[in-house]
């Protein structure tokens, strides 16, 4: 937030946006953890809670969007203040999508319940979701401190999640090949793992947005992360 | 675009944003079609083209974002003009993600090549992608005509894509169960089908944004679309 403007009500509006983003981030983190707990424990009630939480996330994104536009129209911000508000819109959008991914996992709880989640896969999913939650938490901390340096370092390491996802992907394929009765539930777990990997991508998006808010520039260089599984099984001649 | 403002240069700026969005939309459509053609024909060169096209999409989104912010800072728009610019940001974001999904499909071409795509599945994927491309095309037409009514009607029918996706999902599971050697490539095709279904979701997002740009309101009522496969295989007691 630039110190140059003098309207206290305006400061309040910017602070309000920041607070709402932080709340959305907290709920997003919780939804990710809850959805994986629901999957691993076949907990339909917890899954239902995640699905309800997503309604709150959607409403929060809409409210932040409306407030942001009113603030732009009323205050006519430029430079850092304008980037602050546009950044809030983008971050709210990424967090809303994290909520969608949590909901998508929660909705698969009943389908996976049929066979349950083998212990080893459960641990893999839990580990993957922990990594995603840590990344979300760190990126929200950076949102509050506005360190461009830290934002860049989060963006530069999404590899841990990707490596974990790749190993889960292989393991799920193995389970499917061992016993065709695992195919349906493992397919759902594959989508769940992919959802969590995508949550990591959204954390990276948010880090990029914070870098932009703070510096006015896009972080340089190719984004290092990518889904390494897409060539898995490829014929290499 | 509101007829009230008098700056011709400003009109030009808004028209420029519209033109760039339309170009992004055209490329997005093409990427979706190309990626499925590459999959079905194991065409590595076409897949590589889609992957290169995604770089153009990323650059276009960044450019639209930069231009939009400069326009807001310079022209201090309110009401319809401000919604126009914020809408352009949102639509560029959805189109960029459509490009990502096309790229994700293209990157699976080599992995699927190992077993090839059975004719029936190929037809299913082609049909699904045609539906997604029609939806993208229609939503871009609505973007140019700004009909809130038509935007709402696109949003209200994403069901055809969802039904087609559900049927492909079932079919892919059947192939996997029939022969474990199909599991790896069918897993990639599952992700491809899901990617195309998500392209339909982005078209719906864009329709909602156009409705908002035109009316200043969010379309009412729950969004009808949802992934129907997430409970597939669930124990129903």
pLDDT band at A157 (very low <50, low <70, confident <90, very high): low
Q: Are B226 and B158 in contact (CB under 8 A)?
A: no
| Segment B157-167 mean pLDDT | 88
pLDDT band at B6 (very low <50, low <70, confident <90, very high): low
User: How confident is the model at residue A236, as a pLDDT?
Assistant: 45
CB of A235 within 8 Å of any CB in chain B?
Answer: yes
More confident residue, B185 or A228: B185
User: How confident is the model at residue B157, as a pLDDT?
Assistant: 65
Query: Could you give all domains of chain B from N- to C-terminal order, each with its CATH number?
Result: 8-218 (1.20.58.220)
Residue A144 Cα, gap to closest chain B Cα (Å): 23
Interatomic CA distance for residues A163 and A134, integer angstroms: 16
Q: Are B71 and B16 in contact (CB under 8 A)?
A: no
* Residues 64-83 (A) with a CB less than 8 A from some CB of B: 69, 72-73, 76-79, 82-83
User: How confident is the model at residue B13, as a pLDDT?
Assistant: 92
Q: Are B91 and B206 in contact (CB under 8 A)?
A: yes
pLDDT band at A174 (very low <50, low <70, confident <90, very high): very high
C-alpha torsion sign, points B173, B175, B180, B182: negative
* pLDDT tens, residue by residue, A140-150: 999 999 988 88
Lowest mean per-residue pLDDT among A85-94, A116-125, B95-104, B149-158: B149-158
More confident residue, B142 or B217: B142
Mean pLDDT of chain A: 90
Interatomic CA distance for residues B13 and B68, integer angstroms: 9
Characterise B41 by phi-psi region: left (phi > 0), alpha (psi -120 to 50), beta (else).
Answer: alpha
Q: Is the pLDDT of residue A103 over 90?
A: yes
Lowest mean per-residue pLDDT among A21-35, B64-78, B142-156, B159-173: B142-156
Check A108 against B188: CB less than 8 A apart.
Answer: no
Selected for mutation to probe chain B from A187, A192, A223 (highest B CB count within 10 Å) is A187
More confident residue, A224 or B77: B77
User: How confident is the model at residue B236, as a pLDDT?
Assistant: 46
Selected for mutation to probe chain B from A230, A232, A235 (highest B CB count within 10 Å) is A230
User: How confident is the model at residue A185, as a pLDDT?
Assistant: 93
Tokens 């992700």, located at residue: B191
Tokens 């995603």, located at residue: A132
What ipTM was estimated for this complex?
0.90
More confident residue, A53 or B157: A53
Among candidates A188, A194, A183, A198, which has minimal Cα distance to A98? A198
Interatomic CA distance for residues A52 and B95, integer angstroms: 28
Name chain A contacts of B72, Cβ cutoff 8 Å: 72, 82, 86
User: How confident is the model at residue B149, as a pLDDT?
Assistant: 87
CB of B4 within 8 Å of any CB in chain A?
Answer: no
Check B234 against A113: CB less than 8 A apart.
Answer: yes
More confident residue, A235 or A30: A30
Structure tokens at A192: 């769940």
Q: Are B69 and B82 in contact (CB under 8 A)?
A: no
Q: Are A172 and A193 in contact (CB under 8 A)?
A: yes
User: How confident is the model at residue A114, as a pLDDT?
Assistant: 77
Mean pLDDT of chain B: 90
Check B233 against A188: CB less than 8 A apart.
Answer: yes
CB of B221 within 8 Å of any CB in chain A?
Answer: no
- How far is the first Cα of chain A from the last one, in angstroms, to the nearest whole number? 55
| Segment A112-124 mean pLDDT | 88
CB of A104 within 8 Å of any CB in chain B?
Answer: yes
- How far is the first Cα of chain B from the last one, in angstroms, to the nearest whole number? 55
CB contacts < 8 A, A to B, total 107
User: How confident is the model at residue B16, as a pLDDT?
Assistant: 95
More confident residue, B224 or A237: B224
Q: What percent of chain B has pLDDT over 90?
A: 75
């Amino acid at each position: 937030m630039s110190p140059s403007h003098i309207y206290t009500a305006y400061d309040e509006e910017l602070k309000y946006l920041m607070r709402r983003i932080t709340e959305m981030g907290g709920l997003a983190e919780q939804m990710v953890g809850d959805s994986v707990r629901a999957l691993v424990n076949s907990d339909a009630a917890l899954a239902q809670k995640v699905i309800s939480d997503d309604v709150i996330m959607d409403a929060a994104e809409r409210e932040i969007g409306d407030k942001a536009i009113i603030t732009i129209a009323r205050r006519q911000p430029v430079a850092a203040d304008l980037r602050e508000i546009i950044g809030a819109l983008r971050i709210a959008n990424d967090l809303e999508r994290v909520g969608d991914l949590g909901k998508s996992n929660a909705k698969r709880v009943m389908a996976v319940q049929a066979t349950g989640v083998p212990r080893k896969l459960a641990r893999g999913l839990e580990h993957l979701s922990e990594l995603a939650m840590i990344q979300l938490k760190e990126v929200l901390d950076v949102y509050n401190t506005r360190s461009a340096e830290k934002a860049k370092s989060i963006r530069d390491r999404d590899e841990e999640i990707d490596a974990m996802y790749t190993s889960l992907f292989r393991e799920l394929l193995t389970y499917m090949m061992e016993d065709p009765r695992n195919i349906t539930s493992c397919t759902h777990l594959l989508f769940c793992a992919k959802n969590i990997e995508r949550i990591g991508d959204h954390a990276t998006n948010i880090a990029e947005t914070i870098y932009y808010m703070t510096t006015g520039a896009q972080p340089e260089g190719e984004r290092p992360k990518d889904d390494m599984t897409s060539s898995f099984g490829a014929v290499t001649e």
